[in-house]
Structure 1
């Protein structure tokens, strides 16, 4: 299988399908052609991009996600591959059975421990304080995280990584740091949502996230284990961030997140392949209810 890419289109252009390929035509430039099956995510980041239903259909058939942005350059919506790729009813029953089994708390513990462990590694790379505190928290997480060690770790982590003036803003952030974090999270979340859709999994049914207003609870669960990629990249740019999140900054951020090696059980993967491995490990859990709760997540300090 060819390597899949994340495309960020930020200039006026026309998108069409020609000889089975996505053709990107810009004024006074040679057309670019990319097979739809080579695209994992395509982000349309300009109001003057022209696109046809044939393009949307080809991208959906290939399993790609299409993201559109608003006037503030924030994600406004996404087109996901259609659910029902062969096993939708089976997967729904398996997910409901998992909830009834009481094992979702143990899986959420794995995700929270991974989040805390990767936070510790991110700080350790910069020789910052509180590494051991985060490692201790990661090893003490209980099923379902009733003590909210995730929240305790976040307070420590953000203070150490970006300093005390920094405050995390999830929605509508305009400061360069939060804007970068939110943009990077959106791309990874979209990759996860894509894999869930291809696997016929219902993203509404989360392990630790249970909001009735969030159609991507399960994607946000798995995102916890991959957030460190964005944070490590953003922190490497310096604090405060050198400039607003402009087009060039977005391209650099995407390139670095996408190209960063991710270790799963000692083996290196690129981001799309790593996400696929994580989702596949969740499917194995669904297919074997008697299996000890486990997920294949980026390497971290959690060993329980």
Structure 2
């Protein structure tokens, strides 16, 4: 199983050499075994990649993320049809009932909300706001028809960054979160495809213009963990999303978390979460969903 995320910054040329990626930059060559890699993040405007390498990435279920001029992920290359029973699994996915999806969405979004509450507590947010979030979570219903998730998010972000804060603000913390969330989304999408599902068919997200509805569903519990991770990285001296900060944010995938009493990498936790989701929704039993808990996030 791979474990490494490769970050390419203006590499000259990437190609396949035997079972390795050959990276050529300034006439120097670096070789990385494909078996070590789970994802490649490419940025800059001076990198070329061979079609033979793209084919090898697909066969080895290695995600390729392309970043724009602002260093934010803007494209994702995923494998196609590598799961051995992909048709069977996609047919089952297309037949998930509304009640199945609503039941699992309640369980998924509750994990996110509880993790937001834990992070707010960690930061010492005022008790009245903690109590408000706790009360909103207690009113969560199947399918979250009353949008408790949205209300908790409002209290959460206001508590962390002030009442005037919005996720559209042109500030470093938003750039960092956008970058971090995109890394999570890309990794979850890679795992979804590797398990024979399609990313377009979600349980809650169902935007016809979104190719990653299911990834947007299943990444939710991990968002507050990324918020916590970014909080450990940034300080008052940081004014922009530097190369150093981007590398540290990407390293989130290699951090460790306790899952069912065992210490695993975040990538492994995502694998187990997606696999448990498949079992839980097919069984219509949300208790089978693996618990992703901020309080069990170890990090460096």
* Alpha-carbon distance, 1:237 to partner: 4.1
Cα distance in 2 for residues equivalent to 1:219 and 1:299: 19
Q: Which residue of 2 aligns with 1:110?
A: 107
1:265 aligns with 2:260: yes
Structure with the larger helix share: 2
Q: Deviations over 1:11-50 (max 9, x none)?
A: 3332122231111222154x32211122111111011112
Aligned residues of 2:83 and 2:195 also touching (Cα < 8 A): yes
Compute the TM-score of the two structures, normalised by the length of structure 1.
0.89
Q: Secondary structure at the match of 1:296?
A: coil
Q: Deviations over 1:226-285 (max 9, x none)?
A: 001221122234576722112122112222x22432233343221210111011112213
Q: 1:1-304 alignment to 2 at 5 Å?
A: 1=1, 3-27=2-26, 29=28, 31-83=29-81, 85-99=83-97, 102-129=99-126, 130-169=129-168, 174-238=170-234, 242-255=238-251, 257-288=252-283, 291=285, 294-299=288-293
Distance 1:95 1:83, change over 3 A: same
Aligned residues of 1:121 and 1:131 also touching (Cα < 8 A): no
Q: Secondary structure at the match of 2:40?
A: strand
* Alpha-carbon distance, 1:126 to partner: 1.6
Compute the TM-score of the two structures, normalised by the length of structure 2.
0.90
Distance 1:151 1:241, change over 3 A: farther
Q: Secondary structure at the match of 1:141?
A: coil
Q: Secondary structure at the match of 1:180?
A: helix
Aligned residues of 1:6 and 1:40 also touching (Cα < 8 A): yes
Distance 1:77 1:230, change over 3 A: same
Task: Provide structure 1 residue ranges, at least 5 long, that are not aligned to the other structure.
Answer: none
Cα distance in 2 for residues equivalent to 1:84 and 1:233: 32
Cα distance in 2 for residues equivalent to 1:263 and 1:165: 35
Let me know the Cα RMSD of the aligned residues: 2.1
Cα distance in 1 for residues equivalent to 2:258 and 2:164: 32
Aligned residues of 2:3 and 2:254 also touching (Cα < 8 A): no
Q: Secondary structure at the match of 2:97?
A: helix
